[in-house]
Each structure stands twice: as C-alpha cells, then as structure tokens.
Amino acid sequence: MFPELNNLLNTTPDRAEQGKLTLLCDAKTDGSFLVHHFLSFYLKANCKVCFVALIQSFSHYNIVGQKLGVNLTMARERGQLVFLEGLKSAVDVFFQAQEKPHPLQFLREASAGNLKPLFEFVRDALKPVDSGAAGWTYPVLLVDDLSVLLSLGLGAVAVLDFIHYCRATLCWELKGNVVVLVHDSGDVEDEENDILLNGLSHQSHLILRAEGLATGFCRDVHGQLRILWRRPSQSTSQRDQSLTYQYKIQDRSVSFFAKGMSPAVL
C-alpha cells in the first residue's frame, strides 16, 4: 500500500470504513497501481480478501505485492486470500468437467449470460466460516477488471447486476468492502462501458480516477488522480468532496503532490 495515498484518503488499515463500494477508473493511463494498493492495504488490515483477477497472472500480483510488503503466496496458503486467476481457470471451463457451474461459466454460453456462478463463487469464498478460528476482520472483494467482462460478451446490465448482488451480500449483509476497476474508454464511444461506469459511479461511495495528463506523456508526472467522495453516511448537508492530485510512480511507492508542484519543476 502507498502511505501517501492513505494520507490523501484519510484512512489506515486499522480504521478503514466498512460497507463501502470503491470504484477505480482510469482514462488514458494505467490505473493498476490502485489495484495493487488496495490489495496490499486490505491484506495488511487482516481482512479476508477474494481477488477476481482477470487481467494478470498470480505471479505478477505476487511480485508487485512483495515490493509493497505483502506475500500473496503465504496469504493464499493460510486462507486469507482466495484468488481466482481468470487467465488460467478460463481454460478449465472447457477442459474440466465440473459438478457445479464454473465461476466463468458465461464463456461457454452463446447467448448473453449472467454472472450468477461468479457471484456464488465470491459469496462462498467470503461467507464467514462457522468455526470462526481464523478471525479475519471483514470480507473484501477486489475485481481487476470489469471492463474485460464486457469484452468477453456480457452486457453492462449483467455486470451491474453482479456488482449489485456483491454489494447486497458483502457491503450490506457482511459489512465488508468491494473495490472494482473499470476502464474509461474516453474518446472511443463505447456505450456499454459508459453505462457500466456511470451506473457504478452512482452506487459508489468513493471514486478514484487516474487520468493521463491532458498535455501528454511526461517523465516526472505520470498522471493525475481525482478523488471523489460520494454519499457521506452521516449528514447530507455535507456536499460531495472532490480533490485532485498529480502523481509519479516509482519502484516501490507512488508520490503525490498538488497540481504543478512536482519536485521536478520546483
């Protein structure tokens, strides 16, 4: 996790808010550093994490996780981390006979499917075990990323329904958190992606949006991060807050600074 980002979000692993949906989106840049941040953040907060990783392999997240101070292999072995490696298990849909539907069963269906098997996988992974020996704090679902599900043939409404059920079960019933990444297509007109992004934005409590700089690529400033807090739970008189920072990604950390205040130009 990146301590500077924790400061900006005013949170630490010990006192993070529960029952929240966090939306990560990126436009014209790569926002995966946010996924690595939240993965290591929640593992350090002693949460039970279900990571639906559709983009990269387990070893990729493990290598980056080690730079951030978490060991994914050990977390998986002791049962803290349930890892669905999309790239590997997608093949299992076709070549392995399963008794119950595979989480990625929609890949086999010719017509528009739904994500009920995936939701059941997540629910079974995160529901509290009756023995209660492990003692994890609260469950967290992390998805990287949802836009690829649209590319694999699902409709935006099917993905929204999946997140709806995850919110109902994880955020409301189990008081856990959900963090998802969606790419913003930006100039390219992608109606389904826009419906997904806007629909999730309306449901989210916190939106982190990583954008490339409008002027193009820069060596010292990799992009801009917009933080939008929505739906404050305490009082509605407090308007939604929005902050913007620029950032630079280094080997083991990300440094944030106010717009125009990069150390390189001061």
Partner 1 sequence: MTLSEGARAGTRKLEMLDSLLALGGLVLLRDSVEWEGRSLLKALVKKSALCGEQVHILGCEVSEEEFREGFDSDINNRLVYHDFFRDPLNWSKTGEALPGGPLGALRAMCKRTDLGPVTIALDSLSWLLLHLPCATLCQTLHAVSYQDSCPPGDGSPVGKVHVLGLLHEELHGPGPMGALSSLAQTEVTLGGTMGQASARILCRRPQQHPTDQTQWFSILPDFSLHLQEGPSKEFQPQSDPHIPLVDPMAHLTFNLHLSKKEREARDSLTLPFQFSSEKQEALLRPRPSQATSHIFYEPDAYDDLDQEDPDDDLDI
Identify which of residues 131 and 234 has a Cβ nearer to partner 1 in the complex. 234
Identify which of residues 153 and 199 has a Cβ nearer to partner 1 in the complex. 199
Residues 6+ apart with CB under 8 A from 205: 17, 20, 21, 22, 229, 230, 231
Asked if residue 44 binds partner 1 (CB under 8 A), the reply is no
Output the smallest distance, CB 154 to partner 1, in A.
Answer: 14
Check if the beta carbon of residue 181 is closer than 8 Å to that of residue 32. Answer: yes
The residue within the footprint of partner 1, chosen from 187, 233, 260, 266 (CB under 8 A), is 233
Asked if residue 157 binds partner 1 (CB under 8 A), the reply is yes
Where would I find the H helices in 68-204?
72-77, 86-95, 116-126, 147-151, 156-166, 191-203
Identify which of residues 81 and 166 has a Cβ nearer to partner 1 in the complex. 166
The residue within the footprint of partner 1, chosen from 28, 76, 164, 226 (CB under 8 A), is 164
Chain-centroid distance of CA 237 in Å reads 29
Asked if residue 172 binds partner 1 (CB under 8 A), the reply is yes
Check if the beta carbon of residue 231 is closer than 8 Å to that of residue 10. Answer: no
Give the total of residues touching partner 1 (CB under 8 A). Answer: 26
Considering only residues 81 to 120 of the shown chain, the ones binding partner 1 according to CB under 8 A are: 114, 116, 119
Asked if residue 230 binds partner 1 (CB under 8 A), the reply is yes
Asked if residue 243 binds partner 1 (CB under 8 A), the reply is no
Lookup: tokens for 147: 């836009």
- φ and ψ at 12, to 5 degrees? -135, 165
Asked if residue 198 binds partner 1 (CB under 8 A), the reply is yes
Asked if residue 148 binds partner 1 (CB under 8 A), the reply is no
Report d(CA 199, CA 160) in Å as an integer: 7
Output the smallest distance, CB 8 to partner 1, in A.
Answer: 20
How big is the chain, counted in residues? Answer: 266
The residue within the footprint of partner 1, chosen from 231, 252, 261, 264 (CB under 8 A), is 231
Q: Which SS3 state, helix, strand or coil, does residue 238 take?
A: coil
- φ and ψ at 35, to 5 degrees? -65, -45
Q: CB-side exposure of 51: number of CA atoms within 13 Å?
A: 28
The residue within the footprint of partner 1, chosen from 94, 236, 260, 266 (CB under 8 A), is 236
The residues facing 240 across adjacent strands are none
Q: Which residues bind partner 1 (CB under 8 A)?
A: 114, 116, 119, 157, 160-161, 164-165, 168, 172, 191, 194-195, 198-199, 201-203, 230-231, 233, 235-237, 239-240
